[in-house]
């Protein structure tokens, strides 16, 4: 790959990907509303608000592919979700269409399916059951990606990322954890595959406690190598397990605490 755009490059996920993808592409074009001034070899930076379509069209120019990790990364006000995740994602795909970019890695989320119970093994046919406005926005992004594939041939990986953190602070993440290395490998697989289509992938590592089935996406060849199991014996996780109530909605449902949180805009009044 000659030039890959990474949106949201100043965020935690973006920082991890900069490290993991170093040297992979000839140029990694970084973008965020926050200035990045510690550029490494092979990196460039463009300050861009993804809610501005014309700015995004210029941002995408001459790129061979897009890793779209920008936008609101957690629950937030409707106005922020609308501007950053809904308008922003539309602008990315529309700019890709106008600039001739044919492959996108879209960072979706497990919060799109957070209201499924933990004993439900999710697969490609599992209905969307978002646990938040943030999850709703990811559903919009996945449907939008399907539209741009069916009508304009733009291929996408719709990566329903679980929990991509260096450490595991709670027992839920023993199932949802995704290592930074496995995420980077999924991105590389996205742009290396001969054919991608519009493929949803549950982006979790090779964990022991499994809530999802990726056999529908096996044709692209991604095989996560890491596992949350080395974290399982940490004292704080063992102690949490003694306290957990199986009837607590945060334990019953896959979205965890997101399912018990109130409507975000109510909390701001």
Report the catalytic residues: 134
The DSSP line for 20-75 is HTTTTSSEEEEEESS----PPTTEEEEE--TT-HHHHHHHHTT-SEEEE--S--S-
Secondary structure tally for the chain: helices H, strands E:
10, 7
Q: Which helix (H) or strand (E) holds 243?
A: helix 235-243
Of 129, 128, 141, 114, residue with least CA distance to 7: 141
* Contact predicate 228/208, CB 8 Å: yes
Q: How many CB atoms lie within 10 A of CB 108?
A: 26
* Contact predicate 53/94, CB 8 Å: yes
Q: How many angstroms separate the first and last alpha carbons of the chain?
A: 47
Which are the contacts of 247, defined by CB distance < 8 A and separation ≥ 6?
none
In three-state secondary structure terms, 95 is: helix
Q: Which helix (H) or strand (E) holds 94?
A: helix 88-99
């Amino acid at each position: 790959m000659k030039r890959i755009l990474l949106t949201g490059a100043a965020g935690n996920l973006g920082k991890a990907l900069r490290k993991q993808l170093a040297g992979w592409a000839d140029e990694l074009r970084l973008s965020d509303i926050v200035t990045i001034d510690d550029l490494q070899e092979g990196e460039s930076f463009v300050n861009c608000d993804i809610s501005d379509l014309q700015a995004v069209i210029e941002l995408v120019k001459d790129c061979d592919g897009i890793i779209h990790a920008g936008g609101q990364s957690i629950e937030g006000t409707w106005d922020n979700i609308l501007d950053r995740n809904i308008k922003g994602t539309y602008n990315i795909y529309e700019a890709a269409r106008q600039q001739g970019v044919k492959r996108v890695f879209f960072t979706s989320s497990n919060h799109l399916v957070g209201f499924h119970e933990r004993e439900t093994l999710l697969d490609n046919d599992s209905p969307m059951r978002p646990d938040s406005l943030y999850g709703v926005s990811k559903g919009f992004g996945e449907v939008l990606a399907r539209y741009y594939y069916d009508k304009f041939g733009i291929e996408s990986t719709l990566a329903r990322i679980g929990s991509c953190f260096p450490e595991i602070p709670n027992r839920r993440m023993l199932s949802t954890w995704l290592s930074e290395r496995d995420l980077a490998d999924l991105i590389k697989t996205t742009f290396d595959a001969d054919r991608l289509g519009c493929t949803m992938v549950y982006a979790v590592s090779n964990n022991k406690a499994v809530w999802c089935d990726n056999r529908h996406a096996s044709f692209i060849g991604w095989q996560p190598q890491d596992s949350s199991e080395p974290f399982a014996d940490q004292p704080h996780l063992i102690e949490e397990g003694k306290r957990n109530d199986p009837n607590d909605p945060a334990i019953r449902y896959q979205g965890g605490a997101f399912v018990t949180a109130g409507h975000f805009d109510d909390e701001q009044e």
